[in-house]
Amino acid sequence: MRNTAKITTAVLAAGALTLGLTACGSDKEPDTDVSGPLVVAASPTPHAEILDYVKDNLAKDAGLDLEVKEFTDYVTPNTATEDGSVGANYFQTQPYLDDFNKKNGTHIVSVVDVHLEPLGLYSHKVKKADDLKSGATVAVPNDTVNEGRALQLLAANGIIGLKDGVGTAATPADITKNPKNLEFKELEAAQTPRSLDDVDAAVVNGNYAIEADLKPAEDALVLESAKGNPNSNLLAVKEGNENDPRVKKLAKLLNSPEVKKFIEDKYDGAVLPSF
């Protein structure tokens, strides 16, 4: 039986640059007790599933005592990592982490990239993006990074145009071309798949697409490319804990051939290894 605690909270969001384990290490000793299990905060899908695979199949042989706590929001895992309630987290991308640290004064750092969840545009009402009617409503995540990422996806596919250089900070105010006069409905990221019956289309994060039984490779009208994508999901810790031997063991396991095969076999293109 898996030793997984499930915690539900109410705020949502998400979104990583490829940073190697050695590149983000620190000479400082860990500032937490390293004698007990490593408790890792994670989103249920696919993060906790990947961690549970590690826990059930790889951790014992590596001498790692791993405990997984599931969170359904994108705020508590970082605040819990900052205050020491958990030893690490696995749910976010580097752009999201950078934005979170800047806004909240936290000191969370990346350890290693693990996977990419391609962002996609989905609809229950049209089969192709070109079929969206004039004035159609499109739901997008309302957090800074994922909204910008969603708009960049639409721009990359010629659905809208954006100001040069806005990157993942883009908002609907940065739209320069909108030939279909689309209206944008800003929602918490987890709400976007649930909105598909109420809007004409929605841009959905990969993990929430999977939870909603959407198949990105088959169902998305347009889908992010994995090539050169900075939005990999990563293992993160509070600054100073990069050299915790438990963290190092987990980082190595998360980038192992066994985990790569697990991701490829289980998610069939909906989740892509980033190593």
What's the CA gap between 197 and 20, in Å, rounded? 41
User: Phi then psi for 137, rounded to 5 degrees?
Assistant: -100, 130
Examine domains 38-118+230-273 and 120-223 and report if their fold is the same.
yes
CATH number at 120-223: 3.40.190.10
Lowest mean pLDDT segment, chosen from 15-24, 143-152, 161-170, 242-251:
15-24
How does residue 31 score in pLDDT terms, banded at 50, 70 and 90? low
- Averaged over 32-61, what is the pLDDT? 93
Alpha helices in 18-143 (DSSP H): 49-57, 59-62, 76-83, 94-104
Average pLDDT for residues 30-52, to the nearest whole number? 88
pLDDT at 21: 34
Query: What pLDDT is attached to residue 243?
Result: 96
Instruction: Return the CATH number of the domain spanning residue range 38-118+230-273.
Output: 3.40.190.10
Q: What is the pLDDT of residues 66-94, one digit of tens each?
A: 999 999 999 999 999 999 999 999 999 99
The pLDDT of residue 23: 36
Domain residues of the chain, as ranges?
38-118+230-273, 120-223
Instruction: Report residue 55's pLDDT band, with 50, 70 and 90 as the boundaries.
Output: very high
* Contacts with 41 (C-beta within 8 Å, 6 or more apart), sequence order: 69, 71, 76, 77, 80, 81, 86, 88, 89, 90, 91
From 251, 273, 247, select the one nearest 34 (Cα to Cα). 247
Could you report the per-residue pLDDT of 179-202, keeping only the tens digit for each? 999 999 999 999 999 999 999 999
Whether 38 shows a pLDDT value over 70: the answer reads yes
Structure tokens at 30: 């860990």
Q: What is residue 217's predicted lDDT score, i.e. its pLDDT?
A: 86
The structure tokens 């990157």 sit at: 167
Q: If pLDDT is split at 50, 70 and 90, which confidence band does 30 have?
A: low
- Residue 227 is predicted with a pLDDT of 72
Contact 206, 118 (CB under 8 A): yes
Other CB atoms within 10 A of residue 49 CB: 20
Burial level of 27, CB count in 10 A (0-12/13-18/19+)?
exposed
Give the model's pLDDT for residue 3. 39
